[in-house]
Structure 1
C-alpha cells in the first residue's frame, strides 16, 4: 500500500476530514483551508462554501487524543470561561466542528494596534480570574517537582548543549543548578490554582464577550503567578518592562478583590512573577530548540533572542540569580554571536 492510500497518510486524513465536514454540514461543495499551524499534531481548518464560516478541529486518533480537550472545554465552559462553542463532533474519528472566532488572534491585533492593549488585557484578566476560580477536578496534573525538573532539563539539553554546543564546567553547572533550584522552590511555594500554562495573546481571540481562550487542553494545578506573567512575556509579542509591571499590579489588585490566592504584598507577587517568568523562559528556549532539531519545526528559532531579552530585563533585579546572569554574559551571549556571525 502506498502512502497516498494508507489510512494514516496525510492524503487519506485530508479526504476523511473533508468528507466528514461536507456530510456534517450538508454542503457537498464545501472546501477546507488551514486556519492555523500547531506545534503538536492537532490542526484547524476553516470551512468555505457553507452557510457560515466554521472551524474543523482535527485530532488524529493515535497521535492527538481529543478527550482531554473535550474534558477541559466542558469544565471551563461550565465555569464561565469564554471558549469556542462545539457545534458537532465525531470523537472516535477525532473531528470537532467549532464556531469560527475569526481573525486575528489577540497577539496579531495588538501587534497592529498596541493602543488597545489596556482594554484587552483588562478583559483577559476577567477570563484568567474566572479560570483560576475553578476548582481543579480530581486527577488534575500538578505543576510540581517532576514537571519543573523536566523543564530545567530542556534548557540544558536542547538550548545549551544541542543548539549552542556549550558544555558547562563544574562551577557553571553548580551555579545553574542553584538557580534552577531557587526557581523551582519559588514555584513550589506559591499557592496552586487551575493553570492554563499557555495563557498568551496568541491563544486568545479578541471577541466579545471575551477574549475567547484557546489551547487549554494541558491545564494543571500550578503556581498562581504562572499564567499572569505568561500573558505579557509572549513568544511573539513584547512590551516594555514598566508596562508589564503595571499590568501585573493591576491583575494583582483584582485577584485580591475576588479571592484568588495571590500574596498580599504586591512586591512579593512581582518577585514571584519575575521568577516564574525566568523559569518559563529557560524552558521555552529548550522547547524551541527541540522543535527545530527533533521535530523539524524551525519557525520558532527566530524568537530565541526575544527570550534572552526577557532574561536581560529582569535578572538584574534579582541578585539571588546571579549565576544565571554570569552564564548569560560569559557563555551564552558569545555562543549566540558566534552562531550568527
Structure 2
C-alpha cells in the first residue's frame, strides 16, 4: 500500500512539475502523513502524502489561507489533489528552532516566536473549532491508557482528580486561536530572517496560555528559569499592546501557564508511549523522561 501511494504521489508530482525529479523523504514525526522534498522549476517545494481517510486536507488548506490572511507565516498550498490526499506546499527549509537553540540566540529567537504567537491569537475565524473540555479530558485519557495502564501498569483512580483540575484550569482561561503544537520542531527560521510555522492543521480556539506553554516548556528543549520568566513578562506586554484579554497578575498567570503545560506534557508523553506500543515507533521514547 505504501509503495502504491508513493508511486501515485510521484505520478501526481510529475504531472505538475513536468519532470521526473526524485522525491526525497523528510523525517517522520508523530503523524500519519509523509513528507517529501522536490523541485518546482527552480524552487524547492514540499510534497505531502496525507491520506484523506485520516486527514482533513480541505481544512488544512482553509487554515493555511486563514493564517496567511492574518500575515502569520505558514506554507502556501501550491497544488492539491484532495481525492488522493496529495498536497504541494511552500518549502520553509530545515532550520528548525530545535537546531537554532543553544547557540546564544535563544532570546532573539523567542522574540520572533512570541510575535508570531500574538499574531495567531489575533485570528478570529469561524472555521477554527473550539477546544472543548471533553477534548482536554480525551487527551489526558491518552496518558492514562498508554502510560499508566499499558506502559507502567499502575492504578489510575487517583488520576481522576488531577484530570478534573487540569481540564478546569485550561477551560476557564480567556480563549484565543492557538496553533496547538507551537514548539521547536514546528517552527523554523526562514532564509529571510523571519520565522515560519508548520503543522498548524490542529489549530483550535483554546486557552490563552496554551501556545506559550508549548514553546516555553518544550518537549525537545529546556530553557532556563530566567529565560522563561523574561518571556512571560514580554508576552504579557505584547498581549496587552495587541488588545488581548490578559491579567496584571504575572504570578497568577505563571501559575496557570505551568498547569496548562502539565496538561500538554501529559498528552505528549501519552502520544510518545502510544507510538511505541501501538505502532512500534520508538522515535520519541527518549523524550519521555525529560518531559516528565
Q: TM-score, normalised by structure 2?
A: 0.93
Contact 2:65–2:76 (CA<8 Å) still a contact in 1?
no
Corresponding residue of 2:186? 203
The answer for the alignment partner of 1:225 in structure 2 is 209
Q: Contact (CA 8 Å) 2:17, 2:39: kept in 1 or not?
A: no
Please show how residues 93-108 of structure 1 align to structure 2 within 5 Å. Answer: 93-108=84-99
Q: Is the 8 A contact 2:64 2:76 kept in 1?
A: no
Kept in 1, the 8 Å contact 2:17–2:40? The answer is no
Q: Which of 8, 23, 38 matches 1:16?
A: 8
For residues 216-238 of structure 1, what are the alpha-carbon distances to aligned partners after superposition, in whole Å with 9 as ceiling and x for unaligned?
A: 11111100000011012222111
Residues 1:299 and 2:283 are matched in the alignment: yes
Can you list the C-alpha shifts for 1:96-128, whole angstroms capped at 9, x where unaligned?
2222211121112225x2x11111111111111
Of residues 128, 134, 155, the one that matches 2:123 is 134
Residue correspondences, number: 291
Deviation at 1:151, TM superposition (A): 2.1
Q: Which runs of 5+ in 1 are unaligned?
A: 1-8, 309-341
Q: Name which of structure 1's ranges 197-206 and 181-190 shifts more when overlaid on structure 2.
A: 181-190
Q: Calculate the aligned-residue CA RMSD, in Å.
A: 1.8
Mapping of residues 247-258 of structure 1, within 5 Å: 247-258=231-242
Show structure 2 runs of 5+ residues with no match.
none
Q: Report the TM-score, using the length of structure 1 for normalisation.
A: 0.81
Structure number with greater Rg is 1
User: Match for residue 279 of structure 1?
Assistant: 263
The residue aligned with 2:162 is: 179
Give the secondary-structure state (helix, strand or coil) at the position aligned to 1:36. Answer: coil
The list of structure 1 runs, each at least 4 consecutive aligned residues, that deviate by more than 4 angstroms after superposition, is none
Of the candidates 129, 132, 142, which is equivalent to residue 154 of structure 1?
142
Matches of 2:233 and 2:275, distance apart in 1? 34
CA contact (8 A) 2:171 2:207 kept: yes
Cα distance in 2 for partners of 1:225, 1:99 equals: 29
8 A Cα contact 2:107 2:227, kept in partner: no
**Is the CA contact (8 Å cut-off) linking 2:179 and 2:202 kept in structure 1?**
yes
